[in-house]
Structure 1
Amino acid sequence: MSILTWKDEYSVGVRIIDNEHKQLIAMINKAYDSVEKMEEEKVLLELVDEMRKYAMTHFATEEKLMEIHNYPETAEQKKQHNDFMIKAASSDNMLSSDNGAVDPIKVFKYLADWLRGHIMGTDKKLGIFLNEKGIK
């Protein structure tokens, strides 16, 4: 069972960014499902790897658009992206060295908080800016 489904309110108005954000929702649902099935330890390693790959691809997309269009809040956006990358990398490193060192619930909560805080706030502003530049 999914905890989240894509809603128009999640959209930033830029198709490529929205499509990549849908991947994040899929990760959150995967995390939720694993907790419901009591399989979170089994799913955690795969989820952290997905987080890392998602971050590399998605942040590159956003940062390229910001650079091309001279987005005035690029530095803050990149800082937030870097924080996500650090979280994903540190979780990945801890899992590689000691499987019990990462609390699955904290990783899952981090993803949900990222959706609420970054996408619904920071990325919405970026979407408005890009829409004004004619990017849909």
Structure 2
Amino acid sequence: MKKFEWSDSLSTGVPMIDSQHKELIAATNEIGEAIERGNGANAIKKLLVFLKFYAEWHFGNEETCAAKHSCPMAGVNQEAHKKFIETFGKLHDQYRQSDASEEIALKIYNELSEWLVSHILKIDTQIGACIKESLAKQA
């Protein structure tokens, strides 16, 4: 399984957001590693619970920053987060209902990896640029 690597192309230029993205990537990679090791349901279940709460906390931080700095993409970002939480919740439910099947865990890993990269590149980098521009004007 390919490990999800951080790269400079994923950087928003906002240290708080970037460090939180790195945590999300690390948690995503832990899911992949648990699947590869066949660590069973408990390891994956704990990681999914952590990821759910961490993602919601991170989304709140990011949305607050975007609103505070009047970023044009704030609404798009918030809507993308809402859809992600709904999708992730459905996948998590499928995982629980499938008796913790590794097939569903792998689906979660793949969708999460793809969504994170796409979201960061398409939306969060624009949010980061807006925040940096706003902060530069305040300086």
TM-score (normalised: structure 2): 0.83
Alpha-carbon distance in structure 2 between the residues aligned to 1:107 and 1:97? 14
Alpha-carbon distance in structure 2 between the residues aligned to 1:28 and 1:2? 11
Alignment of 1:41-120 (within 5 A): 41-100=41-100, 103-120=104-121
The answer (yes or no) to whether the contact 1:2–1:33 under 8 Å persists in 2 is: no
Structure 2 unpaired stretches of 5+: none
1:89–1:118 CA distance, 2 compared to 1 (3 A): same
Matched position secondary structure for 1:99: coil
Task: Give the number of aligned pairs.
Answer: 135
Kindly provide the CA deviation profile for residues 111-134 of structure 1, in whole angstroms up to 9, marking residues without a partner as x: 111222101221011111111112
Cα drift, residue 90 of structure 1: 2.4
Q: What's the C-alpha RMSD, in Å, of the aligned pairs?
A: 2.4
Kindly provide the CA deviation profile for residues 64-108 of structure 1, in whole angstroms up to 9, marking residues without a partner as x: 011111111222111110011112322344445553477111100
1:95–1:5 CA distance, 2 compared to 1 (3 A): closer
Residue 44 of structure 2 is aligned to residue 31 of structure 1: no
Structure 1 unpaired stretches of 5+: none
Alpha-carbon distance in structure 2 between the residues aligned to 1:8 and 1:113? 17
The answer (yes or no) to whether the contact 1:3–1:29 under 8 Å persists in 2 is: yes
Matched position secondary structure for 1:9: helix
1:121–1:83 CA distance, 2 compared to 1 (3 A): same
Residue identity (%): 26
TM-score (normalised: structure 1): 0.84
